[in-house]
Chain A
Amino acid sequence: MSATTATVGLGMRSSPVAPRTVLDPESQELLEARKSSGRVYDDACARLHELLLRAARFEVARRRRGLAAGEADVIATEAADDALLAVLRRLDDFRGLSKFTTWAYKFAVYEAAVKVRKHAWRDRELPVEEDVLGALHGGLPGPEEDVEMRERLGMIAAAMDSALTPHQRRVLVALAVNGVPIDVLAERLSTTRGALYKTLHDARAKLRSHLEETS
């Protein structure tokens, strides 16, 4: 099954299983250690956590968004802890198509990025936008903005009102207009990033299609 058409693949979790390639020595050692127990296993987990903590600190440092030094370190440590659990849970999914370190890093980067976004929005309410056109015009620089562009935004606002469901409109305005991070919106709406992006993707497709039909 292809995961690359406009809709197929959205929300899909796994790719076709490919044969494992030759691993680098560090990857091989870490993977072998999981079959061990006691000290060997504990040492391997400690090394893996160290690797994940480095990646989490790297991500938190890039996206600090007003974090104090203490907060940044707590978030990085929590991200590394959660990433370690995720990596250990999913070790059998590692296909050897990348370096093991790159594969492990992505869990730490993901966990750290999500935590930083949620932390930045922890005391903020989601914007409520009943007036789509007002929301779109709210983003324009000023009255000198191109008239043609304003008209285009007006068409898009009208298309959003007529072609999208209330849920699609809310998601599109929150993510694309108000800049709410997708993980924050997913948490507030009790859904997942993948499901929310599917809603965003479908809303965008309907919007493009509606605009093509009416223009």
Chain B
Amino acid sequence: MEDHNTNELLGRLLGPAGPEIGCDACFEELDRFVDLEVAGKDADAAVPGLRAHLEGCPACREEHESLLELVKSDEKS
């Protein structure tokens, strides 16, 4: 077990309570979602269910974090 925080364990077991999209739909929408975030727009309203999916799926969450940081670094340069 990598994480010893009990609340986090419960969160991983029960997952996000709200409606969420799946991994494939997340991948399809991720670029638009990230560009909206970087532009300061309401990405959550534009792609409902994606944020909840990121809470429930560590792999998609990691890829979202990386893409967001990568696009932000492009914006700065």
A interface residues with partner B (beta carbon < 8 Å) = 3-6, 9-15, 55, 58-59, 62-63, 97-99, 101-103, 105-106, 109-110, 113-114, 117, 136, 138-141, 145-146, 149, 152-153, 156, 172, 175-179, 181-183, 193-194, 197-198, 200-201, 204-205, 207-208
A197 and B57 contact, CB distance less than 8 A: yes
Chain A: CB-nearest residue to B17: A208
> Whole-angstrom distance between the alpha carbons of A156 and B34 in the complex?
35
Contact indicator A6/B9 (Cβ below 8 Å): no
The chain B residue with its CB closest to the CB of A205 is B15
A178 to B31, CA, bound (A): 30
Question: How would you classify the secondary structure of chain B's contact residues: helix, strand, loop or mixed?
Answer: helix
Query: Using Cβ atoms and an 8 Å threshold, which residues of chain B touch A105?
Result: 31, 67, 70-71
Count of chain B residues near A, Cβ 8 A: 43
B28 with A207: CB separation less than 8 A: no
Residue of A with least CB distance to B22: A10
Question: How far is the CB of B32 from the nearest CB of chain A, in Å?
Answer: 5
B48 touches A4 (CB 8 A): yes
Given the contacts A176-B12, A204-B14, A9 and B25 also touching, CB distance less than 8 Å: yes
Complex Cα distance A181/B60, Å? 11
Flag if A197 contacts B22 (CB, 8 Å): yes
Q: Is the CB of A4 within 8 A of B49?
A: yes
C-alpha spacing A138/B2, complex, angstroms: 10
A193 to chain B: closest residue by CB? B23
